[in-house]
Amino acid sequence: MVRNDPSGRVPRESKDGSSVSVVSMVEDIIGCKWSVRLLQLFADGCTRPSELLRNCPGLSAKVMNERLRKMIRFGILQRTAFGEKPPIQVEYRLTPFGHRFMRIIEEVRRLQEDIDQRSVAETSEVQGEEANNDRLTAGSSGQG
């Protein structure tokens, strides 16, 4: 038997039932290193909780389950349970909204890479200028 949570609708709501804005979701997800890592694993094809824990050293089952529940509430993930008797098999998948949400995560990652590359390039430029200045200073002090 297959059971789906939630029942076809995309909740995007907080624990108290109020609607959650996409900006709040982005802040919440990006603000948690585990949520971003879990979403990347889902995008790469991981579906089982055991796979997630194996691929996230240091992540506890408790924290993982909290983050998964939150992403289900936001409508980013869908949980499917297989079987009627324990142990049941549980899988998680990105919803269509979750796939769209991943584009935000990817854009933030690309932006960070651009910033990191620029700072590396700027550091190289500064070091190059300092080396030129050192050569000029050394050359002018030897002539005097």
Please write the tens of the pLDDT for every residue from 43-61.
Answer: 999 999 999 999 999 999 9
* CATH class of the domain defined by 2-143: mainly alpha
Which secondary-structure segment (H or E) carries 91?
strand 89-94
The domain spans of the chain are 2-143
pTM of the predicted model as reported, rounded to 2 decimal places: 0.68
Average the pLDDT over each of 37-41, 82-86, 98-102, 138-142 and give the range with the smallest value. Answer: 138-142
pLDDT level of residue 126 (50, 70, 90 thresholds): low
Q: Residue 25's pLDDT is what?
A: 87
Written as six digits, the tokens of 44 are: 């790469």
Q: Residue 6's pLDDT is what?
A: 44
Please write the tens of the pLDDT for every residue from 75-99.
Answer: 999 999 998 888 889 999 999 999 9
Cα–Cα distance between 87 and 83 in angstroms, integer? Answer: 8
Cβ neighbours of 78 (radius 10 Å): 20
- Percent pLDDT > 90 in the chain is 51
